[in-house]
Structure 1
Amino acid sequence: MQQRAAQLAGVVAALGVALAAAPALAAPSAYDTAFVSAFADACIPGRLSYEATEAAVAKAGWVAAQSSADPQLGIVEKLTDDVAKKLEPLKGRMVYAAYAKTIEGLPHFLVISFADLGPAAANESVVGCFLYNFNAVASVDPEAVTALMGAPVADSQVDEHIASYSWAPSPTLPGTRETYLTFVPEVSQYKEQTGFSGQVLQFNTTVTVEAK
C-alpha cells in the first residue's frame, strides 16, 4: 500500500513539473488588442441607432472615406449597394457610410449601415458595424474578441481559404446579434463571395429607432 502511494505521489510530482515547464499560451498581440478595441469604441456605444453609431464613430476619430480610398472598399460598397437595391421591391431601404482611420500604423476602414427590411419582415431594422483591414496577412487572435464579448467562440472554420469565428449574442449587449471575425487570404475560394481579402470584424444590432 505504501509502495502504491509512493508511486502515485511520484506521478503527481512529475505532472506538476511538466505543467510548470509547459509554455504559457500566447496572449493576443498589441495589434490584435488595438484592432478589437477600435471596433469596440466605434461600434458598441451607439449600436442601438444609426445616428448614435455615427456619433460614436466620429468621437473615436474616424473620418469619412470615399470608395476610391481603396479598391476593396469600393467592392464592399458595391456589394452593399446591391443589397440596398434588393430591398427596394420589398419596400425596405438601406443607408451606409464608410470611414477611415490608422490603427497601429496601418490603414483601416469602417462601414456602418442601417437597413429597414420592409413590411414582409415586419419592418425590422438593423444597424451594422464592420471593421476592415484589407492589408491583413493573418487572422486577429479570436481570444481578443472573446475578451470583449465575455463568451467563448461558438463556431469556427479554419483552413487555407478562410479563418472564420463567431460568437453567440452577448448578454451584455442586448439586441446585438452574433459577432463574426473573418480573415480571407489573398488566394482564397471565398474572395469573390466576400468581395475582399483581409480581415473583418462585424456585428448587427436589431433596433427600433429608424434612421433618417
Structure 2
Amino acid sequence: MRARSPRSGWPFIRAIRWWLRHEGGRVIYLLRHGETEFNREGRYQGAADSPLTERGQGQSLTCGRILQRHLDGRLPPLWCSPQPRAQVTAGLVARALPPLDLRLDPRLREISMGVWDGLTRAEIESGWPGTRKAHPPRQWMFHAPGGERLEQVLDRLRALLADAASLPDVIFVGHGVTGRLLRGLHRNLPLPEALLLDAAQNAVFALGPDGSETRLD
C-alpha cells in the first residue's frame, strides 16, 4: 500500500497502523539494503559486498522515515544482516528512530553464490554456459559452485522466524533473495512465486498475523 504525503495521507497511515496493531500477533518490518555499486552494475553480490550508492543512502533514509511514521513511538529490536551493506543501511534507517536494540544475525545474510559472487549474468553465462537455462527461473542461483543450496538457506530463515515469533514486533534489515524467501515462508507461497516477489529498496514490508503482508511506502 502506498501512503501519500505525510499530511494528506495521515488518516491512511493511521488506519494501517491500527490494523497492524489490532489484528493480533507480532509484526515483522522487513526491508532490504539500499542500492549498492554492484546493484547498479548488475552484479550478483551474494557473500561479496560493495558500498551503497548515493541513491541507496537516500533509499535507506526513506525507509527510516517510513518506520518512524508506522511505529508510532514503539521501539522494536532491529535485527540486521552482518554484511556491511546491510549494516550501513541499518545505521541510516536508525537516524529517524529513537535508539533501538541492534542485533547482528547471520541468518539474515544474503545467499552465498560461491564463485559467482560479484559476477554479472553475462559473466556467469560465459564461464558456465547453459547453467542458468538448466534450472527453473531464478533457481539457478542455488546451484552455484561452492555456494549455498536452497534448503540450507530455508533452514536458517525458518529458524530466524521461529526465534522472532516470541517478540511483539521486530525490524529485519536484509537482502534481496533472502528477503523474498522470508516473505514466501511467511505467506506460504510456492518457491517460484516467492522468487518473483518485488524486492524494492525504498519500501518496508510489514509481515502481519496469519501470513498477511502490507507494503509501506
TM over 0.5: no
Higher relative contact order (CA 8 A, sep 6+): 2
Q: Considering fraction of residues, name the structure with more helix.
A: 2
| Greater share of residues in strand | 1
TM range (shorter): under 0.3
With structure 1 as the length reference, what TM-score do the two structures score? 0.26
